[in-house]
Amino acid sequence: MCFYFKRSMFLVFTDDTILIGPDTQELDDMITLLRKTFQISDEGTLNEYLGIKIHCKGNVTFHLTQPQLIDSILNDLHLTDTCKKLDLHYLVTKIHHQDSEGASFNGHFDYCSVVGKLLYLEKSTRPELAYAVHQCA
Task: Determine the structural domain holding residue 23 and report its residue range.
Answer: 2-65
Q: Are 66 and 124 in contact (CB under 8 A)?
A: yes
For the segment 55-69, the average pLDDT, to the nearest whole number, is 86
Question: 65 falls in which pLDDT band (50, 70, 90)?
Answer: very high
Nearest to 129 by CA among 73, 56, 48, 53: 73
Estimate to the nearest angstrom the gap between the alpha carbon of 83 and the chain centroid. 21
pLDDT confidence of residue 102: 47
Q: Which of 45, 65, 85 is a domain's end point?
A: 65
For the segment 29-50, the average pLDDT, to the nearest whole number, is 86
Q: Which of 42, 65, 88 is a domain's end point?
A: 65
Question: Are 96 and 118 members of one domain?
Answer: yes
pLDDT reading at 99 higher than 60: no
Q: How far apart are CA 92 and CA 20, in angstroms?
A: 34
Q: Are 9 and 28 in contact (CB under 8 A)?
A: no
For the segment 82-107, the average pLDDT, to the nearest whole number, is 60
pLDDT confidence of residue 38: 87
For the segment 8-34, the average pLDDT, to the nearest whole number, is 86
